[in-house]
Each structure stands twice: as structure tokens, then as C-alpha cells.
Chain A
């Protein structure tokens, strides 16, 4: 059956603004997304089952293959994978965590991903228009994750990749709140230039 992306209805053109080297903002829908809860030892079990090391500290991330693990809290680990992998990843976690003192929830359908990429300074400034975290490269280098806010909307923030003056960040946000977040990001990015590819 057909799937509908949370922001499919949005008029993207109206949010764009011209520039030579604009920021690029797009929705990446349907990303596989599991939240694992439990003591660190159990999170490590879940991460290992997914082929990942446990990010040791809150704010750290590990990656391997198509998967990434974000440590968002002492008892909170998010495992991300490509769209369409929820059955496989769910089975892996089920097998690893059955009868263990831990919990896992498939949030693939509960949230969507907003991906912002472009010149490093512009991307960070755009984020800082809504996010209260210190986003200076020294405080929020590539590979950093955090649960925080954009405006008043809770988001999971990840500095996905960067270097050479470029930055890619992703925001995971509840599906019904994604439009507000995207519109706010677009207002914030307007002065730097913004395109929203379909």
C-alpha cells in the first residue's frame, strides 16, 4: 500500500529564498527509528545486536553500515536505519532484549526527519534561531547528538557530517509538529538562501 510522508502536502516553493550557495532543507520520511530504554548494559546489548557500539556518553553517536545509534539520555538510545528496515531491526531487537529489563519502541511512523545541509556557519546560525544549545563547532562537532528544542518543538538533533566548511544536520521531530519546525527553519534560513528540493 502507498505511504504518505508527513510533509507531503507542503508548498515548498513559497519557503525558498535565493542565494549563490543556499542551504538545502528536505524531509527524509520513513526512516527506521527505534527507541531503546533501559540501563546502560541493556542499551549496549541492543546496540551490539544492531551491530553498533554503545555511545558511552549522553550526546555521543556511533555508526556502522546503514545504522546509527544516538545516545540521547542515560537510559535512552535511538537506533536509526534506512527506510523499510523496521521489520528487520525490530526482529533483531526483539531477539536481543526478550526477557531482559529493557524496552524498545518502533517510532518509525511517529516522527520524520528534516535534513539541513549547506555552509557550516549558515547552517549553525539557522539552527541557533530556534535551538537553545551551544552549537559552536567546538561545542557541537560532527557526530554530536542532543535532545533539545527548536522553537518550542522537541527535536532530536544530530550533526551528521561536516568538514571543509559544510555541515549536514538532521532533526527528528514528531510528525504533526514537523511542519511548524520546517516553517520556522525556513524563516530562519531565509537570509542565508534556501532551497527545498522535492
Chain B
């Protein structure tokens, strides 16, 4: 039998479906329905990890999300690797390969274990005290060494082949937790007709009820399992109730925004490639009921971390769900009644229970039942230590005096292979705290309980401190009724079922047994995952860290991936005791989402690869592709950089394209430039306030270039305003400024000037734009375009006309960003490719040349036309750019007042200039800093920076634009541009227009 710890019967695993898996290369077998943890335990494997800092042997200790020790690397196939997976939540599938972490060369022979002996030299704050000097050594030496010795698993090194989705969901009531309280609440709400979403982290709902065995409470006069089956059956029949298993509520944000992570695929024995691996649910419930249950507390004693020490409730769960007794020779150490049920159930399964120690003189009735069953109950005793090498070999037990001090003289060592511990329970209030609820210390439970909840959020059951199932169900019924009433829904009147359960005596919190852990505080762990001991806490307190948040950061207690779910309250109580305070005076450390670790894939959803962001292609994309375009990203758009011929470099192609525009005709795709339609009786009034230039005199059919300023005077965007009708305008914006400018217009129109009757609509995508530029542009267009007179007199620069290309209505704008005679042909998008090809078909003798962004950039630079985002950076005003002529003095416009501020009038404001490098071939890098002329290496303050630069084919030399301190900006002055990897580049300041300053070519 390959699974020595598996019982022949019982459990909810499928013995007919054995599943092969591996741990560190070793072949093992479990059954369908197992978790990795239960399968390892079934195989008798206890040692599964080495601890974070001291490399102590560690084993599985829990059965749920709180697991601090059993973190494994889990591989489910190529690329499907997750480090730091909690074995307690990993469901077994064929071929699963687990690897232990933080050990070398192996788990059993870990050389790092020497760290345990060195622990005296590795107290809390060790890094802070030791590695702060000499400078630089930390990064080079200490950090890499420490990272090798301490830490978690390795990150995956291959792309994740899986898919992840995000689902939005809405419901009346979200119930978190599928234990009895949650199920009962969902049932009541569902019966009342509410839309209910219930999520539970485990593969099967039922919570603690499903994980308890023969000693589970009775319900409705029958066994718990029958009640559960009945409830689940009815829930399945309610059409508006959705039950999500394997779904973890990771976050509950203020305003009831819940994030649930559903594990869709990992557990499937037969993979379905259509399914996503995980789905992140973004839920907007109208009300939330948190029935998140509770987490059992381990006891605090020296060597409380050995493999083989289990939470008593976990031992019950392994037996009930997986038919795996966690040991054969068992000792139970508890301060709470429910551990007696564990002992009874294990004993009934044939496990030998050597002792049940409980320091409480009067445990509850379950203890009586254990005694009656012949189990050795030792009231007034406790566990004082453990023995073993790679796992538990014996427990040390001793009686305690009335002061709870162990009586050393009577200590006994009891050989055993499992020690079940229980120090009571901590209500899981994490989500409530995340959502902004308030917690208060409740001495009865020795825990923080919900004290105030946000609107329409309630807590019920063990999470609210219910000590019995009857109380939990009553709370659930009450909470649902109240929530539904708040929602205005029918209030359900349903009595809670009768519960048959033993009474419970108060439990004793683990920290009450101070004298026990004081026997060796350096081995009494208050954080198993981060290797923090009671001694570390004491040291922190001695060194003056008294606030809980400070102690947490100094010692790292509660900062591991388990976030201190099991021992956190114990650590807090120790801090309180060590500073002479009551825990009620302290607040727990802040609970932040997520509740448990989740992978990046789930967070990213579909936003990866091609869908990381939208890839926007213009209607001319295929046309440009066919013409050999090489594309680059501009925002989300793909735009042609250049159209290189065979064997031609991009630079040579761009230069050829520039020459074509200056001497013949070039055709470019300018579709991405923003286009905004503005209409309404008050459209002119509105645009006059927005643009710096006068628009009142703009006739229908004419265009004007203008600037849009922020109200602080800085340049937001520039573009051409075209008057389509008396009350109708089209604006052009930069590619990157399209959305920004639209938002800007809407904001002013709606918030500040709602009395203006003006409507603004982005129409960028309605038109594809073909820029046809160059001295032969008119000649080319004459052949293609009809219904328009293209003669200069009839169609001057900065005008627009309706026209046709064949049967296609187009809008023709005579505008130029090249300095040449130029037109921009606005074509309905779906006709764009056809119209572009028409131009080329009709003008082979004119040799129309497609040109790309690089040529556009050079052509406009030769003319000194600014490009928003190059010559501007959010701090630059039109005055800085020498564009004062575009500032109307006739009207008020946004930004005008600010330009009068002294700050904008300082003589040393940046000033746009041209730069001519003395060496005609050296192109100063954009962003290069300007420094004073001279022979010395560049030093001193920056005098400005290069904003754009290129080699100009028209001038046959390097040129640049720069922003220079205004008081130094006179033409002829020599400066240098500091270059990162070469000698500084000497330059001479020139006017910021290198070609045809009179604009004769433009008006031709």
C-alpha cells in the first residue's frame, strides 16, 4: 500500500482514481479529491519545507489558507509553475510536480540548517544592525548572499500559457464563506427572492461542518451531513443563487466592492482548453454578509514548530475529508474544548491517543465524553516542549500550578508522531477591517471582534464571535433579515434549525501560559513563516519598539505571505503584556488586501500580449503596409516611420521621402490627428474663449492655426480650427492630445459655461487623412479630385472645400505641416485605401512618394514648427515659444491672464531657438543639455536643452530646436550640447526656422 496513512474507508476522496504526482522528483500517489497536503500526509510525509531564516524543518500544520509552513513550488506542465503555493489549497491533479523551497541540497540534508545554531547571532533587526556599512557592500555582497540563504521559491522563468479573466458581477447579497452560517444566510435570502452570490474558498461548501467528523453537531434532528446536503440541494434549485466554490474573497473595499478569485481550471483532472485558469470576480453587491469563520490558534511553547505538530481542527479535517489520520501515536494539547472532538474522532479511527493535556481545571462536557471513551484526559496539564530531529518524536508534558506555571519536576516525555494543538480560535475579521469596519477587543473571546460595520455590511457566525453553531445560525438569520430589510426586500421569517451540540467551556488564550514559553523564548515561535520568536518580540520591546506596527516592521512578525493568520493575535498579546497594557488598548495591525497571495496573471486578466493595450490601426494601415511601411508606436496607434525600399535604411528612406516632398509630392497618413466637431449657436463664442487666436473673422471655408492654453498659461495643444458653417467648426488636435483636448472642451462647456449652447463630438475616426504635400501636390490632386477649383486664388492656403474623389465625398483642407504647398484630404474611413491607391494610379509620372513620421518630423523641424510634447512639456508658454503673434489682444481666452504674471515675463524664461552645430554632421541628441561654450568638460548649470534634432536633407546639415535661457538666446551665441557618450557638440544659436522663413513655398 503506497499510502500508509490512508484509511481503507471514509473520506470524500475517490479511491478508484489514483493520481500520480511528485515531490522533489520522488514519485508518489494520492487520490482524486486530495489536496497536495493531504496526499503528502497520506504518504507519511511530514517534512515539506525549511524555515525562512533558520532553516528549521517544517511540516504541514493546518488544512486551509492560514498555512504558514507548507509552501511549495508547484508545476502543472511547461510554463505552469507557481512558487510558494500553500499545499493545503493545491488540489491534486495528474502529473503535478511539487518542489520544496529554501533548502540545499535537500530537505533532509539542508546545509542552511547551520543557521538555526547561529540563531543567537540573528536576532530581530539583525540586518538593520549589521549590514548598513560599508556603503555599497549591501547590494554587491550581503543582499545576494542573504537572498540565497533566506527566502521563498524561485519566480517562474517562462511565459504563463494560461488565460485569466475578470468578471463583473452584481447581486443583492454577497455571502462570503460557505460554512453553516453562510449557507443558511444564502438560503434565507434566496428564498426571499434576492439575487445571492455565495463564495467559498474550499472545493466543497460546508466550512467547519464539512470538515468535522463523527463529532459534528446534529442539525434538525439528524446528522450535519444530511442537513448540508438538503441546504445545498435547495440552493442549487434557487435560480437567483450562485454558489462559487474554490473562490476566495480577496478584498472588500469601501463602498462594498469585493474582489473574488475563482480557481477555475487548476483542479480539473481533464483539462478543458476553453476554460480560463482563474477568474477574478469584481462584485458590486448591494449588501454583504461576512461569514468568514475563524482560524484556530496554535499553542506557544518551546519548539512549537516541528513537523508533526498540527492544529487540532486540521487533524479533524484530514480525517473527515481525506481519510488521513495525521499520526498513529497522538498527543493532544489544548486550551479549548473542540480538540477533544479531534481526539475522539481519531481514536474512533483507530489512532492511539496517549494523552489529552489541558491546563484548564474544568474543561467542557466534550472532555467528559473523551474520558468516558477511555482517553487519558489530563486536566491541569499542558505541553511544555517537543523533541525530534526532522520531525516530532515526543511531546513534553507537565502539570501546571494554579498560577499556570509548569511544574518541571513532574514533566513527562511522551513519544508520539503527532501533536494536536489548540489554543482557541480567532474570528476572521480581515475583510470587515479592509472595508473600513471597526474592531474591538472582546475579553471573553480574547480576540478582536466586529464592533462597527460599514453600511450594509454584516458579520455573522464564528467570524462575529459565535461560540456555538446554534448562535452562528441565529446570527446569520438575524443579519440576513436586517440586510434584506435595508434593501427593501421581503423580510424572511425562518427559524434557525435546532442544533444538537455540547456546551463549551471558555477557552484559555495561548499567551496565558507565559511560564511555558519563557522556558526557551528563542524556540517559541510567534511567526512560523518568518521565523520570529517570543525572544525577538522581547528584544524589540527592550529596544523601545512599543507600537504594534513598529514591532511588526522591526521583527517582521505577521509580515510573511500568511500575514500571521494563526499566531498574529498571540504576538499582539505578547506585545501588550510586555508593555504592561491590555490587548484592548492596542489595535491590530492594519488588514490590507489581498486576504491571501494571488498571482499576477489573475490581476492582469486579459491585459497582456496583444491585449495589453489596444493596438489602433488607421484605415490606411494596410495601404501603408503594402507600400513597405515600417511602423512605430505613437500612443496606442501604429504609424509608419518610413517606407524603405529594398536594402534601404530607415534614415536613407526618410531622407529620400523628405526630398520628394520638397521637390515633388509626398503622401502621408495623417489619420491619427485628432478631429473634433463643434456645433451650436454659441460655438463661436465658446471657441473664442478656448483658442488664443481671433476666430470671429474666420469665414466659412477658411481655417486658422491656434493654440489651446491651460488657464495657467502653459500650452496644452495646438491645431487648426476650420469653419464648416456659421455655427459649425472642426478642430484638429495632435495625435496624443485628441482625448485630452476633447476632455478640456467638455469640461469648460459643461461646468463653467453651461449657458452656452454648444455640442462637442470627437470625429477622429470618421475620416482617414491623406496629407498630400509638395510643389506637385496640386497637380496630383487635380487628376483625382473633382467638384473643386484648386487654383491658388480660389483655394488659398488655410482654406477648406468639399470635393469628391470619384463618387466619394471628401473634405479637402489646404494646410501644411511641411512648409510646402500642401493639402490634407479627409476621406470617409472605409474608402481610405481605395482613394489612396487612386492617387498613386493617377500620378505615376509625378512619382508620388509615401512618407512617414520620420520625414514629417524633419520637414516640420526645418520649418521650426513646434510639436507639442517635444517643444513643450507642460511648463512652456506661447511666449517662451516666440508665438506671441498667436495671442489675441482683442478678447479673453483661457490662459491669457496668467501670461501677465511676473513669473511668465522673467527674462530668463526658456526661449525656443534654432541650433546649428558647428560640425554639420553632428546631430545633437534630443534632451541633450546645453552648457556654456569653452574647452572645459561640461559643468555648471544647464542653460537649456535640445527639444528636437535631425539631419536636414534640404540644408544638408544637422539642425536642432532647443529651449535656452531667454537672456542667452540671441542668434550667433555659441553653446555646447553635452553628449552622454562623446565630446560635447559645439552649436550656434539661430532663428528657429531654417527654411523659407517668408513662407513663399507654402502659399504657392
Contact = CB atoms under 8 A, between A and B. Distances in A.
A binds B: yes
Interface of A: 1-6, 9, 17, 19, 29-30, 35, 37-38, 75, 101-111, 125, 128-136, 139, 151-153, 174-177, 179-180, 183-184, 187-188, 190-191, 193
A109 B767 contact: yes
A137 to B, nearest CB: 11
B617 A134 contact: no
Interface string B273-297: 0111000001010000000000000
Contacts of B834: 1-4
A150 to B, nearest CB: 10
Interface stretch (B160-168, B217-225, B226-234): B160-168
Contacts of B648: none
Nearest to A106: B766
Contact of A4 (B170, B619, B680): B619
B828 A103 contact: no
15 contacts: A104-B679, A105-B677, A105-B763, A105-B766, A107-B766, A110-B764, A128-B169, A129-B166, A130-B168, A132-B168, A133-B168, A134-B284, A151-B611, A176-B618, A190-B163
B211 to A, nearest CB: 30
A140 B533 CA distance: 56
From DSSP, what is the main secondary structure of chain A's interface residues?
loop
Given A1-B806, A179-B615, A110 B765 contact: yes
Contacts of B681: 101
Given A105-B677, A134-B284, A75 B167 contact: no
B830 interface: yes
Given A1-B831, A109-B765, A187 B168 contact: no
A115 B337 CA distance: 61
A129 B757 contact: no
Contacts, number: 129
Q: Which of B615, B622, B764, B830 has the largest count of A CB atoms less than 10 A from its CB?
A: B830
Interface of B: 163, 165-170, 195, 272, 274-276, 282, 284, 606-607, 610-611, 614-619, 622, 637, 677, 679-681, 757, 759, 761, 763-767, 805-808, 828-835
Contacts of A135: 170
In the A-B complex, the 7 residue pairs with the closest CB atoms: A103-B679, A37-B759, A103-B759, A176-B616, A134-B170, A3-B830, A180-B614
Contact of A177 (B167, B614, B828, B829): B614
B830 A103 contact: no
A144 B677 CA distance: 28
B625 to A, nearest CB: 9
Contacts of A30: 830
Given A4-B830, A191-B274, A128 B167 contact: yes
Contacts of B284: 132, 134
A21 to B, nearest CB: 14
Given A1-B835, A134-B284, 18 more contacts: A1-B805, A1-B808, A2-B831, A37-B759, A37-B761, A38-B759, A101-B681, A105-B679, A105-B763, A109-B828, A110-B765, A136-B195, A153-B614, A175-B765, A179-B614, A179-B615, A184-B606, A187-B163
B584 to A, nearest CB: 41
Given A139-B170, A175-B829, A191-B274, A75 B759 contact: yes
Contacts of A106: 766
Nearest to A19: B274
A179 B806 CA distance: 29
A175 B619 contact: yes
Contacts of A19: 274
A104 B725 CA distance: 13
A29 to B, nearest CB: 7
A134 B197 CA distance: 14
From DSSP, what is the main secondary structure of chain B's interface residues?
mixed
A110 B764 CA distance: 7
B274 A190 contact: yes
Q: Which of A4, A5, A135 has the largest count of B CB atoms less than 10 A from its CB?
A: A4
B766 A109 contact: yes
Contacts of A3: 830-831, 834
Contacts of A191: 272, 274-276
Contacts of B167: 125, 128-129
Q: Which of A29, A129, A153 has the largest count of B CB atoms less than 10 A from its CB?
A: A129
B683 to A, nearest CB: 9
A4 to B, nearest CB: 5
Q: Which of A103, A107, A190 has the largest count of B CB atoms less than 10 A from its CB?
A: A103
Contacts of A153: 614
Contacts of A5: 830
A159 B225 CA distance: 44
Nearest to B671: A176
A183 B610 CA distance: 9
A105 B761 contact: yes
A187 B165 contact: yes
Given A1-B835, A128-B168, A129-B165, A103 B606 contact: no
Contacts of A105: 677, 679, 761, 763, 766
A90 B282 CA distance: 42
Nearest to A184: B606
A174 B739 CA distance: 13
Contacts of A2: 831, 834
A6 B835 CA distance: 16
B765 A103 contact: no
Nearest to A38: B759
Contacts of A152: 614
Nearest to B809: A87
Q: Which of A128, A131, A193 has the largest count of B CB atoms less than 10 A from its CB?
A: A128
A103 B167 CA distance: 37
A154 to B, nearest CB: 10
A37 B637 CA distance: 29
Contacts of A176: 614, 616-618, 637, 765
Contacts of A131: 168
